[in-house]
Amino acid sequence: MKITDVKSLAIADVKVIKFGRFNDDRGYFTEVFRNSDFQHHPGMSVMNGIKFLQINEAYSKAETVRGLHFQWNPYMGKLVRAIKGKIIDVGLDIRKGSPNFGKIVGYELSADQSSGDNEWIWIPPGFAHGVVVIEESLVEYLCSGEYSPGCEASISPLAKDIDWSLCDNKLKKTYDSIVSTTKLMTEKDKNGHTLASWKASKDSDNFIYGKR
């Protein structure tokens, strides 16, 4: 795998991993994941010991909103990339006691086939994850835990108490314009927790800053 760059977003636990493609007149070839590179790359220490146990794929029409989802028993981190299309991927810190509790970061992922590289974003356990789809998209998730029904919850993308101060303003405007008008969001997601109601829930004690 040709990892060309690793960068942190405004919350350092969230990483963007850029990897190269080998292009020729036929198209391109790339390794999208190699475990040893993830474990030993100097910029990837945050992922030491992470094993991926489940792979999810989601096809979404433009203006689809998914999330903000998380689970425990087991915890699930997500490594996300766009195979087709363009999305905004967001991670919301839900770890009680974290200096960034309630703050959200986002990043635009796209799948330009003519580009010389592509990107993953790593949303670790302790973060609620969401996707807002700018154009028709196919998205792949490598998950560090298997799905656990009954041990999952969500924060509503419409929650007014999310702190957007660390997020790019242009990205937030695009996010808001889709979230506020779309018909492609489930009632379950729309009616998820606010930050206040999540913090008051007993389940929130499963996410304590500094505790693994």
Which pLDDT value is given to residue 49? 86
- Residue 108 makes CB contacts below 8 A (sequence gap 6+) with 86, 87, 88, 89, 134, 171
Q: Which CATH architecture has domain 52-206?
A: Sandwich (2.60)
* The model's pTM: 0.94
Bridging pattern class, strands 127-143 and 78-93: antiparallel
User: Catalytic residue positions?
Assistant: 69, 141
Length of the chain: 212
**Taking the domains of the chain in order of start, what are their residue ranges?**
52-206
Strand residue runs (E) in 25-158? 27-29, 54-60, 65-71, 78-93, 104-110, 117-123, 127-143, 152-154
Exposed e or buried b per residue across 157-190, where buried means at least 16 C-beta atoms within 10 angstroms of its C-beta: bbbeebebeebbeebbebbeebbeebeebeeebe
CA atoms within 13 A on the CB side of 66: 17
Give the rounded distance of the alpha carbon of 111 from its chain centre.
16
How do the pLDDT tens digits run along the chain, 212 residues long?
A: 888 899 999 999 999 999 988 888 898 898 899 888 888 888 888 888 899 999 999 999 999 999 999 999 999 999 999 999 999 999 999 999 999 999 999 999 999 877 888 999 999 999 999 999 999 999 999 999 999 999 999 999 999 999 999 999 999 999 999 999 999 999 999 999 999 999 999 999 999 998 76
- Cβ atoms of 16 and 91 closer than 8 Å: no
CA nearest neighbour of 178 among 57, 87, 83: 87
Which pLDDT value is given to residue 212? 61
Measured CA to CA, the distance from residue 179 to residue 76 in angstroms comes to 24
- Cβ atoms of 6 and 40 closer than 8 Å: no
